[in-house]
Amino acid sequence: MNDLHEALRDDVRMLGDSLGQTIEKHLGKGFLEKVERVRKLAKAGRTGAESDRENLLAELKELSEDEMLPVTRAFTQFLNLANIAEEHHRVRRHQEICDLEATDSYVQLLKKLKKEGLPEKQILQTVQEMHVDLVLTAHPTEVNRRTLIQKYDSITDCLQGLDRGEPQHHRLNELISQIWHTDEIRQIRPTPIDEAKWGFAVIENSLWEAVPKFLKRLDGQTRAILGQGLPLDCSPVRFSSWMGGDRDGNPNVTAVVTEEVLMLSRWMAADLYIRDIDALRAELSMYNCNQELREQVGDAAEPYRHLLSEVRDSLDCTKNWIKQRLGKPSGDSNDTCPMLTSDKLLDPLMLCHRSLVECGMDIIAEGPLEDIIRRIGCFGMTLVRLDIRQSSDRHAQVFEEISQFYGLGSYNHWTEEGRQAFLLKELQSKRPLIPHDWQPSPEVREVLDTCKVVADADPASLGSYVISMASQPSDVLSVILLLREMGISHDIRVVPLFETLDDLDNARDCIDALLSVPWYKQYTHGHQEVMIGYSDSSKDAGQLAAAWGQFKAQEALTELCQAHDVHLTLFHGRGGTVGRGGGPSHTAILAQPPGSVDRSLRVTEQGEMIRFKFGIPELAIRNLELYTGAVLAATLSPAPLPQNVWRDQMEKMAETGLQAYRSVVRHDSQFVPYFRAVTPEQELSKLPLGSRPAKRKADGGVESLRAIPWIFAWTQIRLMLPAWLGSDTALETAVRNNELPLLHDMYEKWPFFRSYVDMLEMVLAKSDTRLTEYYESRLVSEELKVLGSSLRHRLNVAVEKVLDIKQSEGLLMANPVIQQSIDVRNPYIDPLHFLQAELLYRDRNHPDQRLEHALMVTMAGISAGMRNTG
């Protein structure tokens, strides 16, 4: 173990030395010495006397405005390099230690399920029926530019080469020099097309390799324990995307963009399969084949290559067809050769597989051929399925304009019953609703154009149509009607997203009303999907009340759908941070209400977390295993129902937490001025993170701020307020009321509560009130500092209560790996915090473009150091 930790330290030291050499070469020895002095002072400031911290601040204040940018860049790039070394170390540790708990957790789970008396056939059938859908979203939390990510990936390749004894030092120095001479900050915001291409790149560079390895491993483990493996085209995990489909509050995602992304996704899949087929043709040079294949290829001397040549030609034709479609916005191509369905690619490959097996060449069949077959099971011919997301008020606007055109009054002023009656009548009508001579507003035209794109798209290329801010059955029925009017030929899943606490509390009644409508229940084909929003519910109610609201909503929906005899799939809109539902995915799945994970689960993977979880094939395989095992365990061996006394306690704490949170965020008149003064919230809009605006309304206040910049801003100053505010008061009140023994019992026996406390502990460990206090000293007026002092005190109360519940002397005592990761980074993040506060002060008083650039680099660096941003 010590040898492995030493290997990590060696990698960090090597990468840091290389960065130092690059800095020295281009900025001089004196500048490098200044950077090193800052680093040593920051390290001493963490462990030494207060004078060390004062010396650090003095050193930073002496920096000229021309030195600000290179110093912030030096610490930012070191943190990025440290992240690369740590990710590589995780892979190395996983491979070298062969920790049974880590590497064979799926095997242990299968043994456990058998020991519990579950029949092998039932376990096997459950694995085959599982549908875990990981939905890649372009939420703007990935700070790093794509060009830098590619260079970081190349550094990972070099570290792997060094472990194999290959000479890689020159290439490492070259890459680090390239990184130093590349601007960290995008000059322009990425477009939705750029974001979609970034998502495709993660698949191309990592998941394309990882998925067949994961599935082959899963098959072997299943076969070893249950005596039977999985079908070759069985994939319990699949991928969807919101990139190019999520138009909620993003005017840059248009119908034209969605249509292009659908085509690009298909083009990327065809291109990747062509490379696979070319490699396979090189391998399958055999002349022996079975009668079935011989009948298809005639007297070809190399039957497998002959058949694969036809497959390749068809894939090539598919790419040309897509190019033609992208070149002309409307109209269909007359070309009939494109390979658009999975079976067209799968059938000839399965024929090759059968032939090889029947001719005694099993070992050949099990090679690259099976890899491609397994990829088809996961990625199909469309790479990902694209979800569409739009806000409920945009759909209502369509019917408002239609009702006004027909002289039916105002749709927006009708009762919910009136809306439902109107929509159901129109859904069953044989005449069209939308008039030919109608001229809708541009906003309504865009909604209708999107529905037309969805209606015309191949059903296999689409996931769900998600309605944000849904609260009533009419929100769902209106979308179905619009899609029908635009000519859709299949019943796409229309998914209400319940986001605020009130919406979560109302979710059961909304879905009950829908499923009680015979027409709608028939439309579902026995499957209802519901999305649970984590970000906005936490922003609305605080983390504690939101977590309990989410739990209760899922519990009620599970019970309801069972009563209606409808299968429920819950779609979890989790972000990367705790304040947005983040944390270890497998822990979160096992903490869900019993019965709520029944073979199927959808979950968003957002921003930089996509790269952290799936950017390296070995890490991707591990995370896919964790998802599969967690969903299988939650399906077949769910946690017991919570005791009533636990539920009562959570109800009390959630209500206390809700009131405490809102008393500050909504009702304290000093809160908004304090938030805007102490955090870089307003400057954040200058950072070109993603294609989506930071606010839903350009002139809105904090209430209109999206959950991502809301959390990003608090993370930058290390107060982490969204993740703990409200929990402090709730836990303190419970302890004061002598309920600590009950909290101990809940923590020990209830996965939901344990997960909540552990996530709270992790985020509190990343907070730092001394840094927050420094931001206040530079940026906040005297009258607002009273609120700041109160919030810092409350954070410390939250820390005390978590330690009381965990019966621990310090945070993360049971998780030294995370604690070490935080400790290692702090000396490099601290200078960025102090510089950011100084830059904010200078930029607000004397704006300067040089300062603004350096300020954006500090935001990127702190994000890199914290490992999750929004």
The string of DSSP codes covering 816-864 is HHHHHHHHHHHHHHHHHHHHHHHHHHHHHHS--HHHHHHHHHHHHHHHH
Nearest alpha carbon to residue 68 among 715, 703, 849, 867: 849
Cα–Cα distance for residue pair 373/367, rounded to 1 Å: 10
Q: Which residues are catalytic?
A: 139, 539
575, 707 contact by CB (below 8 A): yes
The string of DSSP codes covering 518-586 is HHHHHHHTTEEEEEEESHHHHHHH-HHHHHHHHHHHHHHHHHHHHHTT-EEEEEEE--SSGGGT-S-HH
27, 67 contact by CB (below 8 A): no
CA pseudo-torsion sign 717, 722, 723, 725: positive
Count of CA atoms in the C-beta half-sphere (13 A) of 176: 32
Alpha helices, H only, 666-726 = 671-678, 681-684, 707-716, 721-724
Cα–Cα distance for residue pair 439/742, rounded to 1 Å: 63
SS3 assignment, position 389: strand
Q: CB neighbours of 306 closer than 8 A, spacing ≥ 6?
A: 297, 300
- Residue given tokens 């290439």 in the structure block: 171
Cα–Cα distance for residue pair 601/129, rounded to 1 Å: 12
393, 697 contact by CB (below 8 A): no
- The residues pairing with 494 across neighbouring beta strands, listed in sequence order, are 465
Within a 10 A sphere around the Cβ of 242, how many other Cβ atoms? 28
CA distances to 140, 663, 723, 753, 809 from 756, in Å: 25, 22, 10, 5, 19
CA distances to 103, 483, 622 from 214, in Å: 12, 37, 8
